[in-house]
Structure 1
């Protein structure tokens, strides 16, 4: 009889905990949706989105322009200059981040925007507009280059292609690794919690792009940026193995963001928030706090954090709080 009562009590506790968790989760989701779409129809929002568009236009135009081989009409044209292309992409990104970092954050890259979303530095609603602006900007930049470049030297217009000697799985891994290197550099050099930083974050990001190109061009053309590959692919209608240039960079960006933010340099606020949700019992186990505490402490605190992130974007100038990206 006692065993049955104990079993029923355990089941009741389990059901109660499940209800608390579901209620907490639904409350978090509704709060997140409201915060995510708050402020979309503001001047600041569209200024940021248009900034991503313009930065992408300039970046893709200049970067792809460095891939044009003006000696293509000669009898023995020289190969593409790997150093020239790498430096042009790297310095272009450094310049665009410096110019647009305080306006939109200077992402100019869907992989970076995805990394900002998973680390809760950018709302999902704003991220969708950012990615659309980045892709449209890349198409515009590639289209302008197509119009101003003579047919005889236009070539493939800088379309990223997997080396015929490289397997698709290996190409995917290369794109993942070089984008991981880039996004990790972004988070590390723009971390407001660090006090040992000096110099220019935008230059460090540009060098990370140049390094990725120096290594990755022979393998995959070194995209590191789905929008950069999407623009010329649309203009030339060449989508061969195009999925590699979306899946690889986005996975690399998500992994880098997760490693930095949740493993190597976790935010103290995250730990504090988790302590508010669970309490340690004298027996050493963790128990979920009461629903009232969850509603007041966890959900409202989470909402405030997201609103702050929307207002500040966690991107400022090099004086202290930035997060610009590529």
Structure 2
């Protein structure tokens, strides 16, 4: 870990997560807060269109940031995605911790900027998540687990270096997965599949009611997706010692060897 923290590439990646998170939250939550600034001449604003607008803002902003900084940090922009990548041995424990800190700080900074811009809005929740009326905490937790599961499953699948069948845009695929999660979950929980994003709103709104749901749910969903993909759907045959080396030394590239697609040896370079 000590050797990894001395590398410039390590800090570039952490800074990229911080800056990209600011842009992502500013665009996505800004789109949601835009409900409070309707265009008086428009007769087309409807609840359905508002949900689509916000979902597209989240999805397209993630896709844009993934295209912009993916080559620097991997563009996780979500603690649940970072956890999934950690469990599938794509990053070290130290980098995962630093990524999550950077993501949370970026979300707080972006939400603080939005708080200033929307200071005239009454009862401004700043995108605060919470179970909708009639939705229990347990049901909200289940929704968050499922939508984050599909997101992290998409991420680990499309970034699998063993695959040769992907010809489309990986950032767009991930962005569409984020948009899909929001289309499903906005009416139930406000969609908190990104714990850092939820954290920024909770800090600035000074309201942590039900906030645990938006950490526990996404983290369970992300961990489950990574484990199921890495050990069941597309298993790697690797020594546990090799995995420990990846988690501690920060090795991110693998020599992949195997005599069939289902059995692949993972060895740190």
Give the TM-score band, short-chain normalised.
Answer: 0.7 to 0.9
| 1:1-326 matches, cutoff 5 A | 36-68=1-33, 69-71=35-37, 79=47, 81-152=50-121, 155-268=124-237, 270=238, 273=239, 299=241, 310-312=251-253
Contact 1:229 1:245 in 2 (8 A): yes
Aligned residue-pair number? 249
Structure 2 vs 1, CA of residues 304 and 160 (structure 1 numbering), >3 Å: closer, same or farther?
closer
Deviation at 1:308, TM superposition (A): 8.2
Deviation at 1:43, TM superposition (A): 1.2
Deviation at 1:306, TM superposition (A): 5.7
Q: Deviations over 1:89-137 (max 9, x none)?
A: 0000000111111111101111111111222221111111111100000
Gaps of 5+ in 2: 256-269
CA distance in structure 1 between the partners assigned to 2:230 and 2:88 by the alignment = 7
Structure 2 vs 1, CA of residues 141 and 267 (structure 1 numbering), >3 Å: closer, same or farther?
same
Contact 1:71 1:78 in 2 (8 A): no
| Runs of 4+ in structure 1 over 2 Å off | 70-74, 77-80, 152-155, 301-314
Aligned twin of 2:267:
none
Contact 2:89 2:246 in 1 (8 A): no
Under a length normalisation based on structure 2, what TM-score does the superposition of the two structures give? 0.86
CA distance in structure 2 between the partners assigned to 1:241 and 1:313 by the alignment = 40
Structure 2 vs 1, CA of residues 238 and 308 (structure 1 numbering), >3 Å: closer, same or farther?
closer
Q: Deviations over 1:135-159 (max 9, x none)?
A: 0000001011111224136721111
Structure 2 vs 1, CA of residues 145 and 154 (structure 1 numbering), >3 Å: closer, same or farther?
farther
